[in-house]
Amino acid sequence: MSYRVMVVDDSGFMRKIISDLIELDSAFQVVGTAINGREAIDKVAELKPDLVTMDVEMPEMNGLESLKVIMKDYPLPVIMLSGINEEGMRETIMALELGAFDFIRKPLASTSSYDIEQVGRELREQMKAAMLAKERREMRQAALEAKLQEALTPMPELPVIPASRKRKIDLDQQTTGKPGATKPPKRDAEPTASQRTDRPLIAGGLKKQEKPQGVAKGSGVTTEGPKTVKQPSLPTAPVAAVKETVVKPDPVKKVKETKAKKQPVQEQAKEDQGRPRSRSRTGFTDLVAIGTSTGGPKALKAVLEKLPADFPAPIVIVQHMPPNFTKSLAQRLNSLSALNVVEAEEGMELLPGSAYVAPGGLHLKVAASAGGSYQATLSGLEACNGHRPSVDVMFESLLPLQGLKKHIVLLTGMGSDGARSMKRLYDAGVTSTIAESEESCVVFGMPRSAIEMGCVSQILPLEQIGPKLVQIVK
């Protein structure tokens, strides 16, 4: 069964191009089109598609206004088609904040057939990722609802015995000696096996009760009256050990154990604090590096808006985006955050309280410079993992920077970019590694890859990552 798609664009030519590109994959079927945002809202309610492609700039009602209504009343995956002008890029960033799954650059009428085919491949890839993410969310929600229903299901009621009948049963048991009767124990009777206290506790490590004084060896006859059983005092150390053995690991942290066990992040932090660390000329000793892709603009907003203006470390960011869009992203994040957020430039000095977004089409690295400071360096080298900028390239540039405490974060995104270099940093003893949990990810790709490699110290929902950084970055 094909996924049902609706195409929204004010250009008839573009509606035809996009529809044809979509239906090159038999998994998708275009079930309707709309010429503006207002008609899109009506047709979404009528056709109930699985997914919508939405032009950003349209007359009467643009894609941004239409998206707000659709996400509120008929939430479903929406992929934005954006022009390359400044207004279109700015509105695309805002659309991603409002919940659009992702965006692609809109092909122009003058675009070559090769470029149109490339747009088609990117569009179909995003559509598949969107439907996969939607199905995973629905499965997770169904599992949670099933557990909730199970918890709320009342236990079957046991039959109630009338009080008069219960008293009669108790009297019968006491007089007849049937099973269940409670006879008072004889004062001088030998304790039964279940009543003996002189047997060792299996988990407590208690010693066997010593033989009472006054017993003739081998005779079995007591010479000093009735036998008294000495109650051993419980040693504190073994009991503590028993308690520790029954503590189960936290089920939320699904990090695979490696051959060489890593210390918990709190112990690593204490160890790092004990190491001599060189304070940079600009007065910081920590650095935060964040990598993200699909769903990233909204996730970055959620993290950065929780950080204060005097955050004591610089933040370097790679968001998979084409050229020019990253500048609009930096400007948007700067307007929403107390931090100073800019698009990184070659040789730009890194300062605490500032965030640096890698420009689209260029790799971002961090390098030490003269005088104990650190700077951003850019390169147009070959794409890594199919991306430029690449999260792996940025993370790997941090390995030689021994004078810094490094905090590595992977947020929502398709693929595995960043996981390999996070593993190398983790094995080298990086201060902390954080991955966004599946529950809040738009696409649980990049974080999952790092978790499966066993290099994540903490798995956190998006809303907790900003506060955690405030807590651990000193």
- Give the residue numbers annotated as catalytic, written as ranges: 293, 320, 417
Pairing mode of beta strands 363-368, 374-379: antiparallel
Name the DSSP letter for residue 96: H
Q: SS3 for 172?
A: helix
Coil vs helix vs strand at 411: coil
Look up residue 411 and give its amino acid. Answer: L
Tokens of 283: 């007065």
Cα angle, residue 67 at apex, residues 62 and 68 outer, rounded to 5°: 110
Sequence-distant (≥ 6) Cβ neighbours of residue 444 within 8 angstroms? 133, 136, 412, 438
* Kind and range of the H or E run holding 403: none
CA dihedral 293, 298, 300, 304 (to 10 degrees): 180
Classify 180 in phi/psi space as left (phi over 0), alpha (psi -120 to 50) or beta: left
Helices (H), 309-461: 325-336, 391-396, 419-427, 446-452
What is the token pair recorded at 253?
């942290």
Task: Quote the CA–CA distance of 448 and 300 in Å, as a whole number.
Answer: 18
